[in-house]
Amino acid sequence: MDLFAELAAAVGAEHVLTEPDLLAGYESDWTGRFTGRALAVVRPADRDEVAAVLRACAAEGVGVVPQGGNTGLVGGGVPRGGEVVLSTARLTALGEVDRVSGQVTAGAGVRLADLRAHAAATGLDFGVDIAARDSATVGGMVATNAGGLRVVRWGPMRDQVVGVEAVLSDGRVVGSLSGLEKDSTGYDLARGLVGSEGTLAVVTAVRLRLVPALPHRAAALLGLPSTAAAVAAVGALRGPLLSAVEVCYADGVALVREHRGLPAPLPRDCPVYLLVEYAGEHDPTDELGAALAAVPDLVDTALAVDGTARRRLWAYREGHTEAVNALGVPVKLDVAVPPARAAVFETAVRAAVSAAAPGARLVLFGHLAEGNFHVNVVGAPDERAVSDAVLRAVAAEGGSISAEHGVGVAKAPWLHLTRTAAERDLYAAVKRAWDPSGILNPGVLIPR
């Protein structure tokens, strides 16, 4: 049997896509930055079908690119040329919420918004929230160790995962969904797969920890004179109710205003904006007000207690991605530095980008509590030079070249900046041990 016949036998002929117009949506990321041709797209319905697909591809030595909601930003979920795209779109089983353990089992293809709605029906929530919530899937979020807006409160995906079920490239199934909170039996395979970007196994389902739904929220937009002042503000705002601290800058806010037709967010223009949210079992407005009173160097502020006012403030921050993309295809570099180095890094990255790409437009925003900056550069003639300059500035501050989007193909050439030779040898050995045939997401994370 040839590969196409085997794939059709595995998942049903109607779930093996080969027509160019059907493949197109799977072959590019949504920003248009990463594009490659797929041999086929397969859409297995369960773990056994995933195993059959992987066995068939391994026998032919054909690469497999797992793809969830295709919201990734580092080229890790689109083909590079000639691979089979394994879409998790049909792995959408969502188990009953277990109130005793506070956990739920979700298929890799479950969308974040659906998971949160499912949890909300029982008075619970999922700790991770990201702007791409309507499309991003649980499997992709595990693969990239997604973080997003509420890491300051609940941690990234790694902290939510209690168990995984995954299929090796030879078709064997590993992992457990039993949800044991205590299990000290050696290596933690489940969390070992978090952040593995589809290079070790295909995650088919995950057991996730849920958190209490916090019905009361209050948000504030702070106008500040500098990144150093914003970092000092994070210190003043930290506390048990703090749920988000997002940073953006005057040029990014102006761009969002233009793109969405919004009025000025605050009466006074400010160089730096910090969006803060407190959430709790009771109305946190008083606590937020008291914390704001302790913020040094505050130029201006707007407080939002009802949902409409909060959404209005969030629009200035969440509108960044879309507004940047409307300018052109951006080079997007998601990085983190220790928060205490954030102000130094901001100056360094602006200098690095203007030297590497004079005339290009730089838009910075991110999650300041984790020192996580999204560095967006539009109009750079040489993408490699910009990436090199930015990632070297990150390494110089003891940072991470990937905070929450993964390494993908975009940053694999720079892995050496923050991983030693010994560590890269271990990465390669781990890859060989899990995926000896080397078919899983070739070129991602570990440079070819």
Which of 146, 322, 294, 171 minimizes the C-alpha distance to 233?
A: 294
144 binds ligand MLT (CB under 6 A): no
DSSP 206: E
Shortest reach from residue 218's CB to ligand MLT, in Å: 21
Q: Across the strands, what pairs with 202?
A: 167
Of 316 and 434, which CB lies nearer to ligand MLT in the complex structure? 316
Q: Cα dihedral sign for 350, 356, 360, 366?
A: negative
Of 103 and 321, which CB lies nearer to ligand MLT in the complex structure? 321
Which parts of 118-137 interact with ligand MLT (CB under 6 A)?
A: 131
Of 47 and 317, which CB lies nearer to ligand MLT in the complex structure? 317
Shortest reach from residue 220's CB to ligand MLT, in Å: 19
Question: Which residue shows structure tokens 């110089």?
Answer: 396
Which of 139, 131, 87, 86 minimizes the C-alpha distance to 111?
A: 139
71 binds ligand MLT (CB under 6 A): no
Of 15 and 116, which CB lies nearer to ligand MLT in the complex structure? 116
DSSP 332-345: EEEEE--GGGHHHH
Question: Which residue shows structure tokens 């500098």?
Answer: 226
Of 31 and 301, which CB lies nearer to ligand MLT in the complex structure? 31
Task: Give the ranges where 244-382 is alpha helix by DSSP (H).
Answer: 250-260, 285-293, 307-318, 320-327, 342-356
Q: Is 260 helix (H, G, I), strand (E, B) or coil?
A: helix
Of 365 and 434, which CB lies nearer to ligand MLT in the complex structure? 365
Distance CA 114, CA 229 (A): 38
145 binds ligand MLT (CB under 6 A): no
Which parts of 329-358 interact with ligand MLT (CB under 6 A)?
A: 332, 334
Shortest reach from residue 316's CB to ligand MLT, in Å: 12
Q: Across the strands, what pairs with 220?
A: 276, 303
| # binding residues, ligand MLT (CB under 6 A) | 5
321 binds ligand MLT (CB under 6 A): yes
Shortest reach from residue 207's CB to ligand MLT, in Å: 25
Shortest reach from residue 334's CB to ligand MLT, in Å: 6
Backbone angles phi, psi at 105, to 5 degrees: -105, 130
Shortest reach from residue 9's CB to ligand MLT, in Å: 39
Of 131 and 189, which CB lies nearer to ligand MLT in the complex structure? 131
Tallying the residues shown for the chain, one arrives at: 448
Shortest reach from residue 203's CB to ligand MLT, in Å: 21
Distance CA 165, CA 204 (A): 6
374 binds ligand MLT (CB under 6 A): yes
70 binds ligand MLT (CB under 6 A): no
Q: Which residues bind ligand MLT (CB under 6 A)?
A: 131, 321, 332, 334, 374
